[in-house]
Amino acid sequence: MKLITYPDVEMMIIDLANVLAGELNNVLFHADRVTLALPGGTTPGPLYDDLCATPLPWDRVRVLPTDERLVAPDHPRSNEGMIRSRLLTGAAAAAQVVGLCPGADGIEGVSNRIGAALPIDILVLGMGADMHIASLFPGAPELEAALGPDAPPVMQVTAPGQPEPRITLTAPVLRGAMSTHILITGADKRAALDRAVELDDPRLAPVCAVLKTATVHWAE
């Protein structure tokens, strides 16, 4: 794990947006398309506000939410909706979002749809103070299966304490990313990160599924 500590959140956002722009361009230098997996939640919005202004061939960028609440894309709690409103604007309006919201073809259909966008090239994750990433929550009955080497690429899971069930990319897909960034702020999440490093067990701290190869970006 590499940990970068920033003097403030604004500096962290500016730096990470630059890093992501560089990584996206590097992939696009030798590939037709690039898959960028992004979290929902409240932290990454300002990152998307910065990133969307980056001049790059956004029409060759596939954006994959790391997870989704089981709500319609136009619902205020939708991660896809948040990503569309904060990232798919300006230069980045031409990017393609591959959503996780199941249609009539259910989770099978989601799995088929995201297949063409895998493996992930560049992964950005948030983390909860309970050490969850995406919607891999400690204590969820489906966690063991979602962490396993034979997990399907995407699963519907329980999210303890959350208002609705979730759809999440599973650990093998997240671990398969070429580059992984974890974006966290505040003392609670910094303490949670230290706890995860100590536990070193994804069944107790799901972030451990990707931590060893991740760059963690943190500001108070």
Ligand X SMILES: O=C(O)[C@H](O)[C@@H](O)[C@H](O)[C@H](O)COP(=O)(O)O
Query: Could you say whether residue 121 binds ligand X (CB under 6 A)?
Result: no
- The span of 41-49, 52-60, 96-104, 195-203 binding ligand X (CB under 6 A) equals 41-49
What one-character-per-residue DSSP string does 10-45 give? HHHHHHHHHHHHHHHHHHHHH-S-EEEEE--SSSSH
Query: Which of 4, 15, 33, 41 touches ligand X (CB under 6 A)?
Result: 41
What's the closest the beta carbon of residue 150 comes to ligand X, in angstroms? 23
What's the closest the beta carbon of residue 54 comes to ligand X, in angstroms? 21
Query: Could you say whether residue 79 binds ligand X (CB under 6 A)?
Result: yes
Query: Which of 50, 67, 80, 121 touches ligand X (CB under 6 A)?
Result: 67
**Cβ atoms < 10 Å from Cβ of 126:** 22
Distance (Å, whole) CA 172 – CA 210: 9
Query: Could you say whether residue 163 binds ligand X (CB under 6 A)?
Result: no
- The span of 20-28, 48-56, 93-101, 123-131 binding ligand X (CB under 6 A) equals 123-131
Query: Which of 9, 70, 118, 134 touches ligand X (CB under 6 A)?
Result: 134
What's the closest the beta carbon of residue 130 comes to ligand X, in angstroms? 9
Tell me whether residue 40 or residue 138 sits nearer to ligand X (CB atom).
40
What's the closest the beta carbon of residue 151 comes to ligand X, in angstroms? 17
**Cβ atoms < 10 Å from Cβ of 20:** 21
Distance (Å, whole) CA 53 – CA 33: 19
What's the closest the beta carbon of residue 42 comes to ligand X, in angstroms? 4
Tell me whether residue 118 or residue 169 sits nearer to ligand X (CB atom).
169
Query: Could you say whether residue 66 binds ligand X (CB under 6 A)?
Result: yes
Distant-in-sequence, close-in-space partners of 34: CB < 8 Å, separation ≥ 6: 24, 27, 28, 60, 61, 62, 121, 122
Query: Could you say whether residue 43 binds ligand X (CB under 6 A)?
Result: yes
Residue entry with tokens 């400690």:
138
Q: Six-digit token pair at 3? A: 């940990």
| Cis upstream peptide for 119 (omega within 30°) | yes
Q: How far is CA 193 from CA 2, 173, 198, in A?
A: 12, 21, 9
Which parts of this chain interact with ligand X (CB under 6 A)? 39-43, 66-67, 79, 126-128, 133-134
